């Protein structure tokens, strides 16, 4: 097989040459015999194929075999009409079928041809067409099922990729089979036309050019035509049968032979019924001997199958009893109980339809989109969401858990929409007052009739699945730093290593350990900074890890390297209205920094801390009243400690350093925090 590709290429070119260039009669016999043998090989292979994709080359092979048969038909027709002979194989086939009677032999040949064309070929063509149509129609559903299994954690990314590839290959295969079956039909029609030409033209040429009598010409050219037709139609019949077998394989776990035996002869009751019916037919006056033989055969099979089934039941029962006793004696395996899912969404039974694809629920699809969105915005691989129904919850209630601990919850109303005022909506709506669960905004549950009016007034209207998806997305973003484990960091670094191997090899493990990089990434995620630009992050760590091993300081260096993306993320328009710190306050904070073996922290008198927070709260309120997002900008060395200080007020406050703001951005201070 070393030069197999060259041999196949030369063989296909040879087929084209045969159509044009005559070959010796000995070569004709050899090639016709090879055609029959290869057709048998394809038929046997299709019988033993368990999945259609195991024989994925079949459509192309079908085209090559059809071309080969047509080439041989042209060659044999050339010999029949020119010399009145087409080799020993065709002559032998013709005499064998004719059996000395030209008319009966020709009728048999016509019957074989009609069966080949009308039954086998047309049936295979129709099955291929329907299989291709249904396979293509089922593709979106199969893709969604794969995404749902991936989301539920039933399969991993590699298995999902393999299954998607298999679905695509199935679609390509059945589409190709639909087209290739048209070649089989065309080949059958061409064979019938060639046979008609052979017998009519041969009859005329035999009488005119060779001086044969009417009877001699009829006998000679009928034999040649029937022989040539059979040599072509028998391989075509085998190939058409193989096509039908291959495209009708469905819901099978074995080859055709095993499935036929296992599924047709698997019930002793069926055998006894057929045996009894055969006896009735024999007693009713039909030929007794055949039906009595059949009745005895089916009764023997049924009796044997009944004994085998009873023996298996006797063997199984003690085994089941022993297994049950062993299970009771074995110590309980509690390891699975120790596993904690990173993210869980528990919901009452009323929300189940949203997660059930058979009822039109698209929650699984939305979870896939959440993972993609987080990958694009934050650069993290979000773990699989675990969905569970909880009968202890209210029907329309849901709970979101991080590592087994409830983080937040919400409630939805079916057949209603949530309408929220973005600040510019005008008009009042009739509905039930509530609070939007993701952002805590005032909202109203409205019915379908109020939806159009709400949209006209300028309200933001969302459906229940979108509410859950949005809430879950915000929880994931807020707690992304908790979800990022060392294994996830290794995946991110391995991804970078494919394109930047020198960077990763320099940094890990000689300069930093995996756990230290994880802490830096978690620090960034905790403040909402995307880690998607892993190359820049690792480059910065490689530059500064020799200067300090303090992960907090390394985080600040990384933030400064990501200044452009941080500016774009948190500053949406210019001039950016911000709050700054008085220079004396910055100096006071720097003087309060305490260095320990475990890192640095700020030690400040409680009264001074409270004074700073009160002043900061006042300045923030001024910024909020202007409709601006609260942002504080301070010196780089102070930024980290100010952020820790402001967490006593709120964890969502954005604190940037001057080095993290792009120099091209215009900044306008609208307030200053003083001591």
Please give the pLDDT value at position 330.
Answer: 55
647-671: burial string, b at 16+ Cβ within 10 Å, e else: eeeeeebbbbbeebbeeeeebeeeb
Residue 556: CB atoms within 10 A of its CB come to 20
Longest Cα–Cα distance in the chain: 130
Q: Residue 636: what pLDDT?
A: 85
Q: How far apart are the first and last CA of the chain?
A: 86
CA distances to 102, 112, 240, 671 from 119, rounded to whole Å, are 25, 10, 10, 88
What pLDDT sits at residue 251?
A: 42
Element spanning 65, H or E: helix 58-83
Q: What is the mean pLDDT of the chain?
A: 78
Give the angle subtended at the CA of 18 by the CAs of 15 and 22, to the nearest 5°: 170
At a CB cut-off of 8 Å and minimum separation 6, what does 608 contact? 588, 675
Gap between the Cα atoms of 99 and 62, Å rounded = 33
Spatial separation of the C-alpha atoms in residues 671 and 571, rounded to whole Å: 17
Give the pLDDT of residue 243.
Answer: 73
Tokens encoding 313: 């039941």
Listed residue (330, 476, 328, 340) closest to 408, CA to CA: 476
Query: 3-state secondary structure string, 552-572?
Result: HHHHHHHHHHCHHHHHHHHCC
pLDDT digits (tens, 9 = 90+) for 305-343: 777 777 665 655 555 555 555 555 555 556 666 778 888
Strands 385-389, 343-347: pairing kind: parallel
Nearest 10 degrees: CA dihedral of 449, 463, 350, 472?
-160
Query: How many other β-carbons are positioned within 10 Å of the β-carbon of residue 565?
Result: 17
pTM of the model: 0.53
Report the C-alpha gap between 45 and 65 in whole angstroms: 15
Going from the C-alpha of 114 to that of each of 4, 6, 188, the distances in angstroms are 37, 38, 9
d(CA 30, CA 87): 10
Strand partners, 460: 420
Query: Residue 499 is encoded by which pair of tokens?
Result: 């394109």
* 538 in Cβ contact with 507 (< 8 Å): yes
Q: Tell which residue, 535, 518, 437, has the closest CA to residue 483.
A: 518
> From the CB of residue 474, how many other CB atoms can be counted at a distance below 10 Å?
15
d(CA 663, CA 6): 64
Res 79: pLDDT = 77
Q: What distance in Å separates the CA atoms of residue 86 and residue 123, rounded to the nearest whole number? A: 32
Kindly give, in sequence order, each residue whose CB lies less than 8 Å from that of residue 343, ignoring residues fewer than 6 positions away: 382, 383, 384, 385, 386, 400, 401, 402, 472, 476, 483
In terms of Cβ atoms closer than 10 Å to its own Cβ (0-12, 13-18, 19+), residue 193 is exposed
Rounded distance between C-alpha atoms, residue 197 and residue 533, angstroms: 73
* Chain-centre distance for alpha carbon 14: 41
pLDDT at 255: 59
Whether the CA torsion 482, 483, 487, 490 is positive or negative: it is: negative
Residue ranges of the chain with pLDDT lower than 70? Answer: 1-4, 52-53, 84, 86, 93-106, 108-109, 116-141, 151-154, 174, 177-185, 187-188, 199, 202-203, 205-215, 217-219, 247-266, 311-337, 360, 597-599
Q: Are 579 and 673 in contact (CB under 8 A)?
A: yes
Characterise 84 by phi-psi region: left (phi > 0), alpha (psi -120 to 50), beta (else). Answer: left
């Amino acid at each position: 097989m070393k030069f197999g590709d060259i041999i196949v290429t030369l063989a296909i070119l040879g087929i084209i040459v045969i159509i044009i260039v005559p070959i010796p009669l000995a070569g004709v016999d050899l090639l016709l015999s090879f055609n029959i043998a290869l057709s048998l090989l394809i038929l046997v292979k299709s019988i033993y194929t368990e999945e259609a994709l195991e024989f994925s080359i079949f459509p192309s092979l079908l085209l090559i075999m059809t071309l080969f048969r047509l080439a041989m038909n042209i060659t044999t027709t050339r010999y029949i009409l020119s010399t009145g002979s087409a080799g020993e194989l065709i002559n032998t086939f013709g005499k064998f079928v004719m059996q000395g009677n030209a008319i009966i032999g020709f009728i048999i040949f016509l019957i074989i041809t009609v069966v080949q064309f009308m039954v086998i070929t047309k049936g295979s063509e129709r099955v291929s067409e329907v299989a291709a149509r249904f396979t293509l129609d089922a593709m979106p559903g199969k893709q969604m099922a794969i995404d749902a299994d991936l989301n539920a954690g039933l399969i991993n990314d590699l298995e999902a990729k393999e299954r998607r590839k298999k679905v695509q290959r199935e679609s390509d295969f059945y589409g190709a089979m639909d087209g290739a079956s048209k070649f089989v039909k065309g080949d059958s029609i061409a064979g019938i036309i060639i046979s008609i030409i052979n017998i009519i033209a041969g009859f005329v040429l035999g009488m005119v050019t060779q001086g044969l009598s009417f009877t001699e010409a009829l006998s000679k050219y009928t034999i040649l035509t029937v022989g040539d037709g059979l040599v072509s139609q028998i391989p075509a019949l085998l190939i058409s049968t193989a096509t039908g077998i291959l495209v009708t394989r469905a819901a099978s776990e074995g080859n055709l032979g095993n499935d036929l035996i296992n599924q047709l002869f698997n019930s002793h009751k069926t055998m006894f019924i057929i045996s009894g019916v055969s006896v009735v037919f024999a007693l009713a006056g039909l030929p007794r001997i055949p039906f009595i033989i059949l009745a005895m055969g089916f009764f023997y099979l049924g009796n044997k199958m009944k004994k085998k089934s009873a023996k298996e039941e006797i063997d199984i029962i003690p085994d089941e009893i022993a297994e049950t006793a062993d299970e009771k004696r074995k110590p309980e395996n509690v390891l699975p109980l120790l596993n904690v899912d990173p993210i869980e969404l528990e919901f009452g039974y009323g929300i189940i339809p949203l997660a059930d694809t058979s009822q039109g629920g698209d929650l699984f699809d939305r979870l896939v989109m959440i993972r993609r969105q987080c990958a694009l915005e934050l650069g993290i691989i979000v773990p699989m969401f675990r969905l569970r129904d909880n009968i202890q919850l209210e029907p329309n209630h849901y709970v979101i858990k991080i590592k087994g601990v409830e983080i937040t919850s919400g409630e939805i109303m079916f057949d209603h929409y949530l309408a929220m005022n973005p600040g510019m909506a005008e008009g009042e709506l009739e509905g039930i007052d509530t609070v939007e669960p993701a952002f805590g905004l005032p909202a109203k549950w409205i019915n379908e009739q109020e939806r159009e009016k709400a949209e006209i007034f300028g309200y933001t209207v969302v459906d229940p699945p979108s509410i859950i998806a949005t809430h879950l997305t915000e929880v994931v973003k807020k707690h992304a730093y908790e979800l990022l484990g060392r294994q996830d960091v290794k995946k991110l670094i391995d991804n970078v290593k494919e394109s930047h191997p020198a960077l990763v090899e320099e940094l890990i493990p000689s300069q930093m350990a995996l756990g230290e990089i994880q802490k830096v990434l978690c620090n960034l995620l905790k403040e909402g900074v995307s880690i998607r630009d892993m190359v820049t992050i690792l480059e910065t760590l490689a530059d500064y890890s020799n200067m300090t091993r303090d992960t907090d300081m390394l985080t600040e260096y990384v933030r400064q390297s990501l200044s452009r993306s941080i500016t774009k993320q948190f500053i949406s328009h210019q001039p950016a209205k911000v709050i700054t710190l008085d220079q004396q306050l910055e100096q006071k904070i720097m003087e309060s920094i305490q260095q320990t073996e475990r890192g640095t922290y700020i030690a400040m008198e409680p009264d001074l801390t409270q004074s700073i927070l009160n002043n900061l709260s006042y300045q923030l309120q001024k910024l909020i009243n202007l409709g601006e997002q609260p942002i504080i900008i301070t010196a780089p060395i102070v930024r980290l400690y100010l952020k820790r200080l402001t967490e006593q007020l709120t964890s969502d406050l954005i604190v940037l350093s001057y080095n993290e703001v792009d120099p091209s951005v215009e900044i306008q201070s609208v307030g200053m925090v003083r001591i």
